[in-house]
Amino acid sequence: MSQHRIVFFTLLGLGTVPLASASVVLPEPAGTMMNSSLPADIIPVSMDDTSHHSSLMELPSMEESSTGKYLSVNDAILLALRNNPNVFSAQLTRIMDKYNLEIAHNAFQPHYSLNFNQTYQNNQRSIYEVSPTVSLDTTMGTSFSVNNTNDMSGDQQTNLNVSQHLLKGFGAVNNVNYLNALDNEKTAKLSYQSSITNVVMSVVTDYRSLVSAELNLIIDQKNLKATQKATEDDALRFKAGKLAKSELIQQQATLASAKLSYQSQLNSVQTTYQSFLSQLGVSPWAQFTVDKSVSLPEVKLPSLEQCIQLAFKNNVDYQREVIELEETRRSVLTAKNNMKWTLDANLQQELETTEGTSGSPVVVSDVSASDPVLSLSMSIPIDNLQDQSSLIQAKIAYREAKENLEQSKRDLMIQVQKQYQAVLYDQQQIPIGEQSVKLEKMSLENVQLKFKFGKATALDVSTIQTSYVESQSSLVSYRISLLNDLMELDNTLGRVLNQWGISLRY
C-alpha cells in the first residue's frame, strides 16, 4: 500500500541537516461504507461517498466550477493537516520534546571537556596550560573523573577521582530524573496525538456543520418556492372570488416567514463556511463545494465492556493521569532521599606526574605517582524543616494523584456509557425521523388537496407545511448527530486517527 506522508523539518542553523522531524502518514483509502439515503426530494444522495471510517485520499484534480472545487471530508482533513497552524506548532513542539529526551539519555554517558589557560607574569615567560577531562556518572551514584594538566613546558599531572554516595543519593533515586524524562516523552507523544486528533475532529465537525447548513438551506429554498407558488395561486383564486381575503393574508404571512427563514439560513451557511475555511488554513476567499450527501457507516460497536477497556488503554487524558501518578510516587522517593544523612566516599589517585624544564627540547627530570587517598565525609541534618515539609507535600500530592486517578476512572466509565447510549439512541432516531418525513409529506399533500376544494384553511396548510420542514431539518440533524457522536466515542476510546487511517511518526 502506497502512502502519502506529510513531513515537517526544522533547521536550527546547522547547515542543511535537519535536527529532527515528525510526520503524519496517510494511507490510501481502503474502501467505502454503506450509504443510507434520505428521500430524493429532500437530500441528494451519492452511493459513492466514503464514510468517516475510510482513509484519506489525495486532493482531487477537478476542474473548477462556478461554485469552486469539490472537496470531500477526506480532502478537507488532508488540507487541514497541511495548512492548519496548530499542526505545524505541534510538529515544532515534538522537536523540542525529542531533545529533552536526548538530554536525559546523555546524563549517564561520558562527558568530555578541554580547558585552555594562559598566565602572564612580569618579566617571565607566559605559562600555557591544557587540561582535558573525562567524567562519568552512573545510576548507582558513582562519579568517575580523569583529568590531565599539561603546562606545555614539560610539567603534566594526571589525576583520577572516584566518589560514591553511600546513603543520600545512593541507588534508585539516581534514576528519578531519567525516568521522569521518559514519562515526559510519553506525555509529549500523547499531547502530539491529541493535537492532531483535535485538528481532525474540528475540521470534520465543521465540514458536517457546513453540510447540515447547506442541506437546511436546500430545504428552506424548496419550501420558499412552494410557498411562493401557493401564494400566487391563492392570489388568483382571491381575484376570482374563490378565496377569502383572510386566507390570502395568512398565506402571505407564511411566505414572509419562509423568506425570513431562508435569509437566516443563508447567513448561517456563509458564517459556517468561513469557520470551515479557517480550520483548513486556507484563504478566506477560497471556494469549495462540499458533498451534501450524508453517508452513514454500518455501525458495529464493540460491547460496552470492551469500549470501557479500550478507553482505559487508549484515552489520552486518562493515560496522562496514570503517568502523573507514577511521577508523584517518584517525588516521594526523592523527598525521602533528601531526608537521609549524607555519607560519601571519595578516592583520589595521582596516576602520573611529570616534571620538566622550559626550553627545547624538554628535559624530564622526575616521574612519580602518589599513593591513593581515600576519604569519607558525613553530614547529619538536624531539624531540617524544609526537607520534612517537602516530604509531607510529596506524600499528600501522591495521595491526591491516586484519588484523582480513581475519580477519573469512574468518570471515564460514565462518559463511555453516555456516549455509547447516545450512539444507540441516534440509530433509533434515524428510522423514526425518516418515517416522520414521509408521513408529514403525505399530510401536506392531503391538506393541500383539501384546501383546493375549500375543506381546509390556509392556516392548516401553513401549520402542516412548517411541520414538514421541521421534520426534514430534524432528520438531517439526526444523521449528523450520529456521525458526530460516533466520532466523540472514538475520541474517548483513543482511536479517531485509526478510524480515519492516519498514523503518526513521532
pTM: predicted TM-score of the whole model, two decimal places:
0.75
Q: Are residues 311 and 208 in the same domain?
A: yes
Which position has the higher pLDDT, 405 or 174?
Answer: 405
Q: Does residue 42 sit within a domain?
A: no
pLDDT at residue number 184: 92
Q: Are residues 479 and 352 in the same domain?
A: no
How far, in Å, CA of 404 to CA of 106, rounded?
34
For the chain, the maximum distance between any two Cα atoms, rounded to a whole number of angstroms, is 135
Q: What is the pLDDT of residues 220-230, one digit of tens each?
A: 898 898 889 88
Residue 295 has pLDDT above 80, yes or no: no
pLDDT at residue number 135: 92
Residue 469 has pLDDT above 90, yes or no: no
Q: Are residues 406 and 367 in the same domain?
A: no
Average pLDDT, the chain: 81
Q: Are residues 144 and 11 in the same domain?
A: no
Phi-psi region of 415 (alpha: psi -120 to 50; beta: other; left: phi over 0): alpha
Q: Which of 488, 444, 451 is nearest to 466 (CA)?
A: 444
Q: Which of 71, 70, 73, 69 is nearest to 56 (CA)?
A: 73
Which position has the higher pLDDT, 372 or 65?
Answer: 372
- 449-455's contacts with Cβ under 8 Å and 24+ in sequence apart are 454/242
Q: Does residue 258 sit within a domain?
A: yes
Residue 52 has pLDDT above 70, yes or no: no
Listing DSSP states for 343-371 in one string gives: EEEEEEEEEEEEEE-SSSS--EEEEE-PP
Instruction: Read off φ and ψ for residue 65, nearest 5 degrees.
Output: -110, -175
**What pLDDT band is residue 328 in, cutting at 50, 70 and 90?**
very high
How far, in Å, CA of 148 to CA of 132, rounded?
6
Residue 301 has pLDDT above 80, yes or no: yes
How far, in Å, CA of 69 to CA of 217, rounded?
20
Residue 27 has pLDDT above 70, yes or no: no
Q: Does residue 346 sit within a domain?
A: yes
Q: What is the pLDDT of residues 157-197, one digit of tens each?
A: 888 999 998 888 888 888 898 999 999 999 999 999 999 99
Q: Which of 9, 34, 30, 8 is nearest to 74 (CA)?
A: 30
Instruction: Read off φ and ψ for residue 68, nearest 5 degrees.
Output: 100, 175
Q: Are 219 and 473 in contact (CB under 8 A)?
A: yes
Helices 176-239 and 458-492, axial angle in degrees (round to 10)? 170
Calculate ∠ Cα 42-47-53, nearest 5°. Answer: 110
Q: Which of 458, 460, 79 is nearest to 234 (CA)?
A: 458
Q: Are residues 413 and 458 in the same domain?
A: yes
What is each CA distance from 192 to 24, 79, 125, 196, 208, in whole angstroms? 11, 18, 60, 6, 25
pLDDT at residue number 30: 36
Q: Are residues 241 and 369 in the same domain?
A: no
pLDDT at residue number 356: 61
Q: Does residue 101 sit within a domain?
A: no
Q: Which of 492, 499, 491, 314 is nearest to 416 (CA)?
A: 492
Average pLDDT over residues 56-62: 31
Q: Are 3 and 27 in contact (CB under 8 A)?
A: yes
- 59-66's contacts with Cβ under 8 Å and 24+ in sequence apart are 64/287, 65/289
pLDDT at residue number 226: 85
Which position has the higher pLDDT, 370 or 301?
Answer: 301
What is each CA distance from 404 to 318, 322, 324, 335, 398, in whole angstroms? 10, 10, 10, 21, 10
Q: Are residues 119 and 244 in the same domain?
A: no
Tally the residues of the chain. Answer: 506
**What pLDDT band is residue 248 in, cutting at 50, 70 and 90?**
confident
Average pLDDT over residues 209-228: 89
Q: Are residues 241 and 193 in the same domain?
A: yes
Q: List CB contacts of 489: < 8 A, sequence separation 6 or more.
A: 307, 416, 419, 420, 422, 423
Q: Are 225 and 253 in contact (CB under 8 A)?
A: no
Q: Does residue 102 sit within a domain?
A: no
Residue 87 has pLDDT above 60, yes or no: yes
Number of folded domains in the chain?
A: 2
Q: Are residues 187 and 76 in the same domain?
A: yes
Q: Does residue 30 sit within a domain?
A: yes
Q: What is the pLDDT of residues 410-439, one digit of tens each?
A: 999 999 999 999 999 999 999 999 999 999
pLDDT at residue number 468: 86
Average pLDDT over residues 196-212: 93
Q: What is the pLDDT of residues 454-464, one digit of tens each?
A: 788 777 888 88
Q: Are residues 373 and 411 in the same domain?
A: no
Q: How many CB atoms lie within 10 A of CB 356?
A: 18
Calculate ∠ Cα 201-203-204, nearest 5°. Answer: 65
Q: Does residue 196 sit within a domain?
A: yes
pLDDT at residue number 23: 56
Q: Are 80 and 200 in contact (CB under 8 A)?
A: yes
Instruction: Read off φ and ψ for residue 157, nearest 5 degrees.
Output: -145, 135
Q: Are residues 318 and 426 in the same domain?
A: yes
Residue 210 is placed in which grid cell?
457546513
Which domain does 266 fall in, by range?
3-34+50-83+178-292+301-325+400-505
pLDDT at residue number 463: 84
Helix H or strand E segment including 365:
strand 364-368
DSSP category for residue 301: P
How far, in Å, CA of 503 to CA of 498, rounded?
7
Q: Letter for the amino acid at 210?
A: L
DSSP category for residue 297: P
Q: List CB contacts of 293: < 8 A, sequence separation 6 or more.
A: 35, 37, 43, 44, 45, 46, 49
pLDDT at residue number 268: 92
pLDDT at residue number 405: 95
Q: What is the pLDDT of residues 482-495, one digit of tens each?
A: 999 999 999 999 99
pLDDT at residue number 298: 79
pLDDT at residue number 67: 62
Q: Are 243 and 232 in contact (CB under 8 A)?
A: no
Phi-psi region of 123 (alpha: psi -120 to 50; beta: other; left: phi over 0): left
Q: What is the pLDDT of residues 366-390, one digit of tens each?
A: 455 567 888 899 988 887 888 889 9
CATH label of the domain that carries residue 277: 1.20.1600.10
- Distance between terminal CA atoms of the chain? 21
Average pLDDT over residues 9-25: 41
Helices 245-280 and 73-83, axial angle in degrees (round to 10)? 40
Q: Are residues 234 and 136 in the same domain?
A: no
Q: Does residue 40 sit within a domain?
A: no
